[in-house]
Structure 1
Amino acid sequence: MPPSTHLDVSKAQPTSAISATKAGLVDVADNPQDATKSFLRSPFMKAALPFINGGLGGMSATAVIQPVDMVKVRLQLAGEGARGGPKPTPITVTRELLASGKALDLYTGLSAGLLRQAVYTTARLGFFDTFMNGVNARAAKADRQVAFKERAAAGLAAGGIAAFIGNPADLSLIRMQSDGLKPAAERANYKSVLDALARISRNEGIGALWAGCNPTVVRAMALNFGQLAFFSEAKSQLKDTSLSPRNQTLAASAIAGFFASYFSLPFDFVKTRLQKQTKGPDGTLPYKGMLDCFTKVTREEGILRFYRGFATYYVRIAPHAMVTLIVADYLNFLTK
């Protein structure tokens, strides 16, 4: 019997398939994991991932920390303009917020908080990683270690740029969180961050969205200096210890949270005061700007007022920094 001339299609490969294999191309349907890795390693995604991972980390942290942020803002606004004014505690502020029987009041401004993280944290962590990649490349080329001052400069620059971009969302958050302090007839009762942005722009002008921008930028630079520079430095110092990589990240983020709180709280205080203020009956604002606010608060309320609520601020900043940095670090690991 003559040998069969039937071609075994299970073993045969079309010329195009052979060519594709030789060219190193990946079939998405057959190799989804390889296709995903190829996509993540594309030049565009390599540049975009630090921003995406940073934003997701910040939004995750905000969803957890928002009630603490609400209490922090109310503490900063209490007793405005009076040295001997009320001295609320986190417990009394929380009790007042819950007095109406609405626990969700602690999440007032959550939409603005999430938008702020989507803009601000996306930008600051993304720019920081981008700047540090350049710093690391220059250090490697010169065969030296990255200096702390280089990490600090990257953190300061990333924070300043991101804060300017995210100021409108930040201002909307403060307006929404402070609205409940006004008499019922004077409240704006914003429905969402988009409603706040639209109404502030319409009633006060587009420029009003950047009210308090100067202290916001300085605060962000101080916070980033404390958070990102010290996080990067701490991870570098802990690298050769007996701690596991996960514990190194946890310890470094806790250290970063403390320094971020210490350096940024006075500027956060002034930012809150400036963003909350609205024109009085005579058409003037309580504060003319950042320096005027520092001066008036120091004279009328005492210099220690800038650090009122430090414990609450630390509880808000440190866990937020830890969750943000840990999530971003983990996402960076997954997408390498």
Structure 2
Amino acid sequence: MDFVLSGVAACGACLFTNPLEVVKTRMQLQGELRSRGSYQIYYRNVFHAFYTIAKVDGLAALQKGLVPGLVYQFFMNGVRLGSYAIIESSGYIHSNGRVSRVKSTLAGSVAGVVGAVMSSPVYLVKTHLQSQATSSIAVGHQYKHQVFPKDSWLVALSSGMVSSVVVVLAMTPFDVLSTRLYNQPVDHLGKGQLYKGFTDCFSKTLRKEGLMGLYKGLGASYFRLGPHTILSLFFWHELRKIEYKYLK
């Protein structure tokens, strides 16, 4: 039940914060592998991105990728919080009757990695859908037909999964790399890819766009992080109250 309650709570938060995820994705893909000043800036900041997307693509575009986003949140946070709850109830994180900081951190990391791996395929779909835009404001690779290119989608999935795990372990600019790895164009057997993997994506982004290239979409990330965390915990707390009242 811990898995279900955690997943549903995260889905409830996603309904409100998905527009910020769309904005973050677009901003992270803007000017991909191009030096500063050599490309047109469609999204100047979080608020301008909201306005631009709503004006050009319509208000509904701010909820692009909502369905896979909900599925991603259910698996990611359901597995993450559910696994941690199981570890906690087993008594592993306690030492001499007190919570061990080291064990608690380790348990959270393991739960986060498991959640990231299991939800990675859905994150790939979500990224593809959220990056799609009208040609006048399009950034990154645009998937018009197949979400999973034949015989090669596993290449993008596996490389993106690595960066997703890193992002879970530490909230860093590697979130940009995760978005780009999941959204990169993939040909038959992986030929013609922008990136060969996580380290290649990191070095190319740093070399072409500089250090700030790793921080694209940072504002949207943190605008989303606060409300999403608060709403997730609020819904989780309320759902647990209902569970204890009616099911126990």
Residue 208 of structure 1 deviates from its aligned partner by 4.6
Aligned partner letter, 1:94: F
Q: Secondary structure at the match of 2:126?
A: helix
Aligned partner letter, 1:274: L
Out of 62, 80, 83, the position equivalent to 2:35 is: 83
Partners of 1:63 and 1:304 lie apart in 2 by 30
Q: Cα gap change, 1:181/1:101 in structure 2, threshold over 3 Å: closer, same or farther? A: closer
Tell me, yes or no, if structure 1 residue 335 matches structure 2 residue 238.
no
Tell me, yes or no, if structure 1 residue 312 matches structure 2 residue 195.
no
Segments of structure 2 that go 5 or more residues without pairing to the other structure are none
Residue 83 of structure 1 deviates from its aligned partner by 2.6
Tell me, yes or no, if structure 1 residue 268 matches structure 2 residue 175.
yes
Partners of 1:293 and 1:162 lie apart in 2 by 23
CA contact (8 A) 1:171 1:211 kept: no
Which segment drifts farther, 73-82 or 205-214? 205-214
Partners of 2:210 and 2:134 lie apart in 1 by 22
Q: Cα gap change, 1:273/1:138 in structure 2, threshold over 3 Å: closer, same or farther? A: closer
Partner of 2:61: 105
Aligned partner letter, 2:175: D
Q: Greater relative contact order: 1 or 2 (C-alpha under 8 angstroms, separation 6 or more)?
A: 2
Residue 204 of structure 1 deviates from its aligned partner by 3.4
Q: Secondary structure at the match of 2:180?
A: helix
CA contact (8 A) 2:56 2:134 kept: no
Partners of 1:277 and 1:207 lie apart in 2 by 10
Out of 82, 95, 106, the position equivalent to 1:126 is: 82
Q: Normalising by structure 2, what TM-score?
A: 0.85
CA contact (8 A) 1:58 1:324 kept: yes
Aligned partner letter, 2:32: E
Partner of 2:206: 298
Partner of 2:2: 50
CA contact (8 A) 1:83 1:301 kept: yes
- Please list the CA deviations of residues 266-303 of structure 1 after superposition, one character each: whole Å capped at 9, or x if unmatched: 12111001011013799321111111111111111111
Q: Cα gap change, 1:333/1:143 in structure 2, threshold over 3 Å: closer, same or farther? A: farther
User: What is the aligned length?
Assistant: 236
Q: Cα gap change, 1:277/1:266 in structure 2, threshold over 3 Å: closer, same or farther? A: same
Q: Normalising by structure 1, what TM-score?
A: 0.64
Partners of 2:104 and 2:93 lie apart in 1 by 13
Residue 335 of structure 1 deviates from its aligned partner by 2.2
Residue 202 of structure 1 deviates from its aligned partner by 4.5
Segments of structure 1 that go 5 or more residues without pairing to the other structure are 1-48, 191-195, 223-263
Partners of 1:213 and 1:101 lie apart in 2 by 29
Taking only aligned residues, the RMSD between alpha carbons, in angstroms, comes to 2.6
Q: Cα gap change, 1:73/1:181 in structure 2, threshold over 3 Å: closer, same or farther? A: farther
- Please list the CA deviations of residues 114-171 of structure 1 after superposition, one character each: whole Å capped at 9, or x if unmatched: 111122111111111111222x3673xx533112111111110001011110001000
Partner of 2:165: 217
Partners of 2:151 and 2:49 lie apart in 1 by 30
Partners of 1:121 and 1:201 lie apart in 2 by 28
Partners of 1:83 and 1:202 lie apart in 2 by 32
Q: Cα gap change, 1:96/1:137 in structure 2, threshold over 3 Å: closer, same or farther? A: closer
